[in-house]
Chain A
Amino acid sequence: MKKATTLYENGNHRWQVIARDPERPSHLIDTNEYLITSNSVTMLTDPGGQEIFPAVFAALSEVADPRRVTHVFASHQDPDVISSLALWLALKPEIKCYTSWLWCTFIPHFGGSNDTFIPVPDDGMTIDFGGITMSIVPAHFLHSSGNHHLYDPQAKILFSGDVGAALLPPDQDSLFVTNFDQHVRHAKGFHQRWMGSRDARDAWCARAARLDIEMMCPQHGAIYRGKDVQRFIDWFAELEVGVLRSGS
């Protein structure tokens, strides 16, 4: 079963990560789901694919009542990001989903209706989330053509979707990056193949460098803390992206 770990807590404002399922079948990519709570509202970021719904539900239940989830945030349209939407809506039909306007007619193929989606414009938006202000920031073409990240200035946490993701070998399952140089070896191939645009990468690096970030939380792999955040931004800024190497 996946496990929920608290990353940040200040009164009724919390960030928790749901990660690391030892029973996950190897044909499914590992994912991190983040549960953000502020007073009476609760948001799940990139809630995951339908195959892992039971594991996410069970881990979430350990730390919160899943009926209290009011929002989901989909950084983009991939199945590992949002194909569980129909199941979350079966639990609670009133759940609202923030996602790029680009995907508001595509994601309903997984589930949801006109009332479900809050379209996010290309420039992003700020949202009042249970008394705190969070920013949905653009990250287009990293990798999806309609892609956003979520920044919480109070917690100083950036949910960075696929940016910062690493495909870790089974024996390296630390929740946090402990050795940056070793870690990015597992991030390199992913970023070179999935991130196809140098301009988009440069824009993201410039934007991220301006934010005050203590934790950068990707959807796959380990979480970057402290100086490793800037190390990642610098590393990514220099990385050759859009590289096609035959994988199979």
Chain B
Amino acid sequence: MSNAQAVTGSEQASFNRVAALNEAAKQLIARSHVVNLLALDARVQSKREGSSLRGFDEVSSQMQHWSRDLHSALERLAALSREVVVEVSTVSKEGHLLALLRRAANSSTSPLADETRFRLEALHHGRECTLLGLWRKVDETLGDLDLLGMMAVVLSRSAMIEASSGTAEQRAQLGHVAQEFYCNSEAVVTVLKAILNQMKRA
């Protein structure tokens, strides 16, 4: 089977991968919003408490950065998934045209159908390369997201350590925030693992 046939034959898989990516991105965006709000709230609280919670303030600031980085990576992913849909749609249409041209060439003595087919096949091959390039970029972005997932877990653990350094009242207040950071980070990692596994299987 040629690469072109392989790509054309996997239209459904490609659409499914894009749909799965979009669904995962929606969940991750929701999580990143929650983390951003939590971090903002935590920063206000720790600022109010003064120098004793400088460490927690710093970790919360890092969580805000993380949330923004996650958001940017997801925006890149969304733009890529739109490009993939455009390419897969075109590959699908061209694949259908090629199949028809092959049939026309088989039942015709004129070289025209073959000439047209060759031209379209060259275009199709270019499109296939573009599509493969896009999928590589998707994989890279998923790799970035994977790193961000790991970073979130580390940050949320740091938040827990910092939260435990304050007074009993501060521990009660910030322990809850740190726990929320942790839960959201874990959820992000779970979603990422699921989508990465799905991409690997595809």
| A interface, CB within 8 angstroms of B | 1, 50, 53-54, 57-58, 61-62, 65-67, 86-87, 90-93
Contacts and interface: CB of A to CB of B under 8 A. Distances in A.
B82 interface: yes
**Residue among B19, B81, B82, B86 with most chain A CB within 10 A:** B19
Contacts of A1: 82
Nearest to B22: A61
A54 B86 contact: yes
Given A54-B89, A66-B15, 11 more contacts: A54-B85, A57-B85, A61-B18, A61-B23, A86-B96, A87-B92, A87-B93, A90-B11, A90-B12, A91-B19, A92-B12
Nearest to B87: A54
B106 interface: no
Contacts, number: 47
B108 interface: no
Contact of B82 (A54, A67, A93): A54
Contact of B19 (A66, A86, A87): A66
A175 B81 CA distance: 27
Contacts of A93: 12
Interface of B: 11-12, 15-16, 18-19, 22-23, 26, 81-82, 85-86, 89, 92-93, 96
Contacts of B85: 53-54, 57-58
A90 to B, nearest CB: 4
A111 to B, nearest CB: 8
A91 B82 contact: no
Contacts of A66: 15, 19
From DSSP, what is the main secondary structure of chain A's interface residues?
helix
Given A58-B82, A86-B92, A91 B23 contact: no
B19 A65 contact: yes
Chain B interface helix/strand/loop/mixed: helix
A90 B22 CA distance: 18
B89 A61 contact: no
A92 B11 CA distance: 10
25 contacts: A50-B89, A54-B82, A54-B85, A57-B85, A57-B89, A58-B82, A61-B18, A61-B23, A61-B81, A62-B22, A62-B26, A65-B19, A66-B15, A66-B19, A86-B93, A86-B96, A87-B93, A90-B11, A90-B15, A90-B92, A91-B11, A91-B15, A91-B16, A92-B12, A93-B12
A135 B23 CA distance: 32
A41 B82 CA distance: 25
Contacts of B12: 90-93
A53 B82 contact: no
A91 B14 CA distance: 8
A227 to B, nearest CB: 37
Nearest to A111: B96
B86 to A, nearest CB: 4
A89 B83 CA distance: 20
Given A90-B11, A93-B12, A53 B19 contact: no
A67 B86 contact: no
B89 A67 contact: no
Nearest to A65: B23
A14 to B, nearest CB: 16
A37 B26 CA distance: 19
A194 B158 CA distance: 67
B98 to A, nearest CB: 14
A200 B167 CA distance: 80
A92 B23 CA distance: 16
